[in-house]
Each structure stands twice: as C-alpha cells, then as structure tokens.
Amino acid sequence: MGDFNYPDINWETLQSGPNGKDFVKLVLDCYLEQHVCEPTRLNNILDLVFTAELNVKNNITILPPINNSDHNVLTWQLDCSGTHVTDNEMRLCFNPAGYDGMHAVVKSQLGLTTVLLTVKCLQVLCGNISMILCKWQ
C-alpha cells in the first residue's frame, strides 16, 4: 500500500508507458493483485493497495483528502483469518544448516577426485541426501 507515482499505468489492462513498465513486470512476477480502481489524485490512480495472499473483504472506499493533502484517503478491510494445520510431518529448516559440513560430506561421498557421470552423481546423492540433511541441519 502506498503512493507509487506511476500515472502512466492502466491497472485494468496492465499496460504502461516507459516509466511504469518495469513496475508492472515486478507486480506480475510477484503475483500481486492491485485493488484500487478509481483515481486517487486528480485523474490518476497513484495510491495503490497490493495483496498476494490476503483477501480484500470489501471494495476499497475512496474518501476526500484530509486537511491539505492532494491525495484521496483509501479505506478497506482485510480478511486475515487463517487455519491451523496440525500434522506430524518433519520439515527441515535450512537457515541454520551447516553448509560447509554438508559440502564436505557430499564431496567425500561423490569422490570428486574422479569424473563421475551425472546419473551416477544423482544416484549417490539420492541415496545419501536424508542422512546429509539430518546430520547437518
């Protein structure tokens, strides 16, 4: 949400002049949805609300500017409810993993002193990947 200052973007067609072209590509690449459909400053849609996973409950309401602002005020509601899923499936956390140790184990398992075929490398890795992940997580 914010004032993005891209007056040359048509949010219905996602067409843009040269100034907003990269921004539209970024929005599409990130699978974002833009919800403001009416002008927020003069005849331009500059103040934007993006979502990826949260659902906008009601349409966005555009109100007159406050005090000396030249931008309209936007109001909306989000549905932030979620569901809690309980399962016993193990999930590995790779952030604190010991990558140097993993690398050493993989290197020794593959015997990188000799050239191995790609298929052989994959067979060795698949056979040892669980042990490597559990040991170095």
pLDDT at 93 over 80: no
pLDDT score of 113 = 47
Tens digit of pLDDT for each residue in 11-62?
A: 889 999 999 999 999 999 888 888 888 888 888 888 888 888 766 666 788 8
* Counted domains in the chain: 2
Q: Does the residue 91 lie in any domain?
A: no
In a 3-state reduction of DSSP, which class is residue 8? coil
Residue 101 · residue 131 · CB < 8 Å: no
75 with 24, same domain: the answer is: yes
What's the pLDDT at 20? 92
Q: Answer yes or no: is pLDDT of 112 > 60.
A: no
Q: Are residues 48 and 7 in the same domain?
A: yes
Domain span including residue 126? 99-136
Dist CA 88 CA 93 (whole Å) = 15
93 found inside a domain? no
Domain match, 15 and 61 both: yes
**Same domain? 59 vs 120:** no
Which pLDDT score, from 0 to 100, does residue 51 have? 84
63-90 pLDDT tens trace: 898 988 888 888 888 777 777 777 777 7
